[in-house]
């Protein structure tokens, strides 16, 4: 099942490696398409820098230097935000991508806002991090562009940590090194784009579900800029993170990752994931799944996605995948025209495999899951006896000990839940009696 596409755009002076803290978690659910500003990273500066038109026999991309990104190429006159937006669209068209989600930081986010306003048919959902519809008066940006053209990026790059992070936060060395390598002219042109940028009249045109995220200690685009965006974009959600500067996704990586996943998951439902989540909770219980999800880190996110979508969605989920996708319920033991195993049978197979592999912790989980799925303790004992014949007597001996404890724990949990329900019913009964009396 194809996954939705997500474009990640960085801020001025950085490359797509800015998104490294979020990349694993987002890649687990999306086909991520990183995009760099012209002159940043491997993106050619020539895609943005205005120059003389091609002479006879010359075309775009000829001559020395790297090939420019496909697209309309630089135009005469002052560069504008739409030039960057058109470069994004040209990249996606070349990849055959139609609709996409977009997340950007600062200038990269402004590009996403322009795309959502002017090409709403392409942008499915949007996340705007530490950005603005209007980056202040043009003079400071013009002065920075002139300084970079005159003296290079040294001084600007050296002072970047003061603009990017809260005091005392250690700036990652790779980000600073990449800043020093940015093409000075491309950087200056981006400054001029920011000088002339005003997206405020466009905000009402944005219809894509939008998350606006701000760092409360961001001095480059303070929280009032984010609030203006959220107020101007219909139904936009606003998140303000404490102890976060301009590159909040680096300074508060986990909080930003969680906010992005919550936003994009709600706007891009995944039938396979939904079926897997349902099956996993049905077999292993809500408490176990909640604990597993709470322990998920960017490092383990792709494995958790694999478990949820494929092990639980495709294998355990069976016909639930089609139901989650909006299809009709195909009936027990069937997924469309294909016969499938019911969950009782899958539990029997799983218990056998876990005994054979000696996976005792997982065996305990799945003994409880088998009980939830309708297997009785006697039927589980029969499975373990079968394992004694085909796996080994020692393996079955250990499995009986594990299963007996799991069955006892499950019975105690069920008894506790039953007692809680009874107490809740008793507490509600007097109130119900008084209500009935008042009605009389």
pLDDT in tens, 62-112: 333 344 444 445 555 678 999 999 999 999 999 999 999 999 999 999 999
Strand partners for 9: 104
At residue 219, the pLDDT reads: 96
For residues 185-201, give the mean pLDDT. 97
Nearest CA to 341 out of 372, 314, 323, 365 is that of 314
At residue 77, the pLDDT reads: 62
At residue 75, the pLDDT reads: 53
> What does the radius of gyration of the chain's CA atoms come to, in whole angstroms?
28
Given a contact cutoff of 8 angstroms between Cβ atoms, the answer to whether 401 and 365 are in contact is no
CA pair distance 212, 110, nearest whole angstrom = 11
Nearest CA to 54 out of 62, 46, 44 is that of 62
The residue among 16 and 49 whose pLDDT is bigger is: 16
Given a contact cutoff of 8 angstroms between Cβ atoms, the answer to whether 375 and 298 are in contact is no
DSSP string, 312-327: IIIIISTTHHHHHTT-
At residue 56, the pLDDT reads: 33
Q: Quick one: CA torsion of 37, 41, 47, 50, rounded to 10 degrees? A: 80
For residue 408, count CB atoms less than 10 angstroms from its CB and return exposed for 0-12, middle for 13-18, buried for 19 or more: exposed
Q: Could you give phi then psi for residue 239, rounded to 5 degrees?
A: -125, 125
Task: Write down the mean pLDDT value for the chain.
Answer: 85
Nearest CA to 407 out of 347, 364, 440, 437 is that of 364
Task: Kindly state the tokens that stand for 415.
Answer: 């008894």
What's the DSSP call for residue 295?
T
Given a contact cutoff of 8 angstroms between Cβ atoms, the answer to whether 56 and 29 are in contact is no
CA pair distance 29, 17, nearest whole angstrom = 18
Given a contact cutoff of 8 angstroms between Cβ atoms, the answer to whether 129 and 10 are in contact is no
> Cα–Cα distances in Å, from 42 out to 35, 66, 175, 191?
10, 9, 14, 19
Judged by phi (left if over 0) then psi (alpha if -120 to 50, else beta), residue 71 lies in: left
CA pair distance 209, 252, nearest whole angstrom = 23
What's the DSSP call for residue 198?
-
Whether pLDDT at 231 is above 90 = yes
DSSP string, 98-129: -SEEEEEETHHHHHHHHHHHH-TTTEEEEEEE
Strands 210-215 and 123-129, how do they pair?
parallel
CA pair distance 234, 223, nearest whole angstrom = 18
At residue 233, the pLDDT reads: 98
pLDDT in tens, 132-184: 999 999 999 999 999 999 999 999 999 999 999 999 999 999 999 999 999 99
Query: Which residue reads 């002479």 in tokens?
Result: 55
Whether pLDDT at 24 is above 70 = yes
Task: Kindly state the tokens that stand for 299.
Answer: 């490092």
pLDDT in tens, 372-421: 989 999 999 999 999 999 999 999 999 999 999 999 999 998 888 766 55
CA pair distance 90, 278, nearest whole angstrom = 39
């Amino acid at each position: 099942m194809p996954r939705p596409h997500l474009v990640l755009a960085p801020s001025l002076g950085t490359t797509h490696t800015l998104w490294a803290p979020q990349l694993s978690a987002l890649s687990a659910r999306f086909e991520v398409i990183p995009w760099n500003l012209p002159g940043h990273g491997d993106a050619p500066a020539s895609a943005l820098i205005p120059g003389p038109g091609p002479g006879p026999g010359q075309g775009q991309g000829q001559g020395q230097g790297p090939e420019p990104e496909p697209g309309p190429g630089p135009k005469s006159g002052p560069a504008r935000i739409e030039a960057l937006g058109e470069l994004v669209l040209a990249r996606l068209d070349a990849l055959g991508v139609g609709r996409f989600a977009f997340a950007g930081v600062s200038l990269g986010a402004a590009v996403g806002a322009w795309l959502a306003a002017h090409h709403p048919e392409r942008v499915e959902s949007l996340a705007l991090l530490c950005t603005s519809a209007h980056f202040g008066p043009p003079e400071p940006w013009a002065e920075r562009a002139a300084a970079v053209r005159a003296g290079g990026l040294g001084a600007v790059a050296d002072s970047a940590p003061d603009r990017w992070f809260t005091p005392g936060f250690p700036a990652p060395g790779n980000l600073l090194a990449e800043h020093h390598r940015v093409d000075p002219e491309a950087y200056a042109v981006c400054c001029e784009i920011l000088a002339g940028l005003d997206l405020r009249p466009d905000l009402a045109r944005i219809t894509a579900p939008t998350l606006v995220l701000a760092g409360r200690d961001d001095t480059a685009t303070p929280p009032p800029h984010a609030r203006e965006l959220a107020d101007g974009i219909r139904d936009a959600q606003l998140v303000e993170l404490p102890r976060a500067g301009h590159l909040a996704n680096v300074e508060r990586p986990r909080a930003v990752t969680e906010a992005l996943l919550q936003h994009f998951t709600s706007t891009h439902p995944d039938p396979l994931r939904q079926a897997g989540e349902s099956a996993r909770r049905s077999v292993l219980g809500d408490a176990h799944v909640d604990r597993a999800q709470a322990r998920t880190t960017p490092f383990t996110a792709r494995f958790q996605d694999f478990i949820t979508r494929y092990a639980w969605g495709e294998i355990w989920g069976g016909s639930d995948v089609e139901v989650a996708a909006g299809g009709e319920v195909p009936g027990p033991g069937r997924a469309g025209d294909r016969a499938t195993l019911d969950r009782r049978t899958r539990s029997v197979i799983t218990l056998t495999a876990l005994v054979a592999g000696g996976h005792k912790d997982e065996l305990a989980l799945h003994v409880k899951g088998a009980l939830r799925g309708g297997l009785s303790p006697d039927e589980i004992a029969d499975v373990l006896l079968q394992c004694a014949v085909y796996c080994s007597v020692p393996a079955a001996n250990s499995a009986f000990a594990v299963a007996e404890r799991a069955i006892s724990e499950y019975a105690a949990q069920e008894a506790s839940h039953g007692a809680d329900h009874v107490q809740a019913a008793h507490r509600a009964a007097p109130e119900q009696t008084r209500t009935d009396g008042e009605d009389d």
